[in-house]
Amino acid sequence: YQQNPKTYAIVKQLLAEGNAGELQKYFGSRMEFGTAGLRAAMGAGISHMNDLTIIQTTQGFCRYLEKNFSDLKKRGVVIGFDARAHLSSGGSSKRFARLAANTFISQGVPVYLFSDIIPTPFVPYTVTHLKLCAGIMVTASHNPKQDNGYKVYWENGAQIISPHDKGISQAIEENQEPWPQAWDDKLIDSSLLLHDPYAMVNKEYFKDIQKQCFYRNINKETNLKFVHTSVHGVGHKFVQLAFKAFDLSPPFAVPEQKDPDPDFPTVKYPNPEEGKGVLTLSFALAEKDGARIILANDPDADRLAVAEKQESGEWKVFSGNELGALLGWWIFTCWKNNSRDTRAIKDVYMLSSTVSSKILRAIALKEGFHFEETLTGFKWMGNRAKQLMDQGKAVLFAFEEAIGYMCCPAVLDKDGVSAAVITAEMASFLATRNLSLSQQLKAVYDEYGFHITKASYFICHDPKVIQQLFDNLRNFDGKNTYPKSCGRFKVSGIRDLTTGYDSSQPDQKAILPTSKSSQMITFTFANGGVATMRTSGTEPKIKYYSELCAPPGNSDVEQLKKELDELVNALEKHFFQPEKNKLQRKTE
């Protein structure tokens, strides 16, 4: 009995070959549903993204929502999708989105299903705008082309946090038998419960982001030229519309990358975080058209990378922390100078994640607004922002070093579309003062203190070795003692978010939530350095993030860089011990 002839054929072939190893891979274990939803390769079997696993996941999610919302059938859910597709298994984001819509509609739940591809931030925007119970985005963001994902938003417009992931996961386990007509997605086309929010959101979203447009006259006049790439993803049309909404001339689009293509033919990985490799075609177009600034979105347009041509002719690709510093400075300056917001500065907040640069803390201290750090990931910043907004606070900006920016309170998640156009307005404004983005970044550091960051990772496929490495740090000088120094660098504070210990708190208990299932220790050093070591939830990596925060006035950048390099070398040598632990270095 076959519903999807392609996945059926794959499994039949493996059975005919008697290939137990591959069958074990396909059917050995079900995909884990976590706070990030699902993320896996498309293909046959319960360990992959396919028609069946999407139906099962949505059935569980639907039952969980019914339990949590008595008015689910009145309010409904929104579903969006990107342009990913997988020929050999017949899976595609659009097909998965339609199957998910069919599941909800079969239970009498109204579904706002986008009729065409959209950027991920449009889903949380729609949840908030239409006061829906939940949102689903079918996307694997910047993952390799064979992957897909299923990302879930709660009624507050932010990604889910625990315990919802556990509750949904359990409900999926309890609802694995596909409901009658689960496969028949054509049923939705004639249903009165199906709505298409595409036209409405394309109008309202661009109206809402215009509240962040402060220099329309400069935008109209500027001669600054921009190149934009959507890296074969969904961003092209929406960034063009955003520029129009701000009265900026449209950016030059990289022709080979502007149309959605699930094969991502011109890049090895469709991830603008990888820096210059993904931007090769953008650099060429910028040189040809005389553009000084490149804006690059990842394929689902929730993240943004920016590059600027320097006086020397070299291109500088800004790190997530550097662009976070620029946008934080810009958004605060715009609020201070132009805002019609009558709230006092004591009600103004900015957020960033604990592994991101502390530059916002330095700006907040000097200017008098609040800065808060959250755990890693936008789900934490989105949820915290919503709490603060419900208390009447203004959350102006949040960012994470992985090139994610929330510049607009209408979207409680990272949004690469609004970030792109706000960056373009900032650059246009600075150009009228004869300043480049790089020069302004230096000015921000001169005023608030230099913040130099360096991050990398080691690959380790053996969970036992990772466990040992972190155990060693917790029992460094005898049992239950953390390191007092790292080479020549004295440790002045320790926060362990696996165990909940924080040496800087009066009761030695960490304020941020702790999680025993993942490793994360932050060391503060006497020289103003901070380093966090943590495991990745999605990859076999031990990551580290380091930063040296200098007080304003210390402008010997080369000396600061040298000091941070030495700190990182000591961290690798004494805390990671790559030779002893057989760790594989990140390859450039």
Q: Which residues are catalytic?
A: 141
SS3 75: helix
Q: Which residues pair with residue 523 across a beta bridge?
A: 494, 531
DSSP codes, 104-120: HHHTT--EEE-SS---T
Q: How does DSSP assign 505-522, residue by residue?
A: STTSB-SS---TTS-EEE
> Which CA distances in Å does 546 have to 329, 388, 528, 537?
22, 28, 11, 19
Q: What is the 3-state secondary structure (H, E, C) of 349-394?
A: EEEEECCCCCHHHHHHHHHCCEEEEECCCHHHHHHHHHHHHHCCCE
102 vs 350, 370, 562, 577, CA distance in Å?
40, 45, 58, 52
Give the separation between CA 356 and CA 399, rounded to whole angstroms. Answer: 8
- CA-to-CA separations, 379 to 123, 178, 333, 448, in angstroms, rounded: 14, 30, 26, 28
The partner residues of 177 in beta bridges, in order of sequence, read: none
Q: Which element (helix H / strand E) includes 493?
A: strand 489-496
486 bridge partner residues = 489
The residues pairing with 68 across neighbouring beta strands, listed in sequence order, are none
Q: Yes or no: say if 530 and 523 are a contact pair by the CB < 8 Å rule.
A: yes
CA gap 108, 376 in Å, rounded: 37
* Closest to 376 in 3D by CA, of 466, 492, 455, 295: 455
Which of 578, 579, 563 shows the shortest CA–CA distance to 488? 563
Query: From start to end of 230-341, where are the E strands?
Result: 252-253, 293-297, 304-309, 315-317
- Whether 25 and 68 have beta carbons less than 8 Å apart is answered as no
How many Å apart are CA 588 and CA 576, to the nearest integer?
19
Q: How far apart are CA 116 and CA 227, in angstroms?
A: 25
Residues in the chain: 588
Element containing residue 584 per DSSP (H, E): strand 584-585
* Paired residues of 85 in beta bridges: 92
Would the CA dihedral through 573, 576, 582, 585 be positive or negative? Answer: negative
Give the closest residue to 60 by CA, choosing from 165, 131, 161.
165
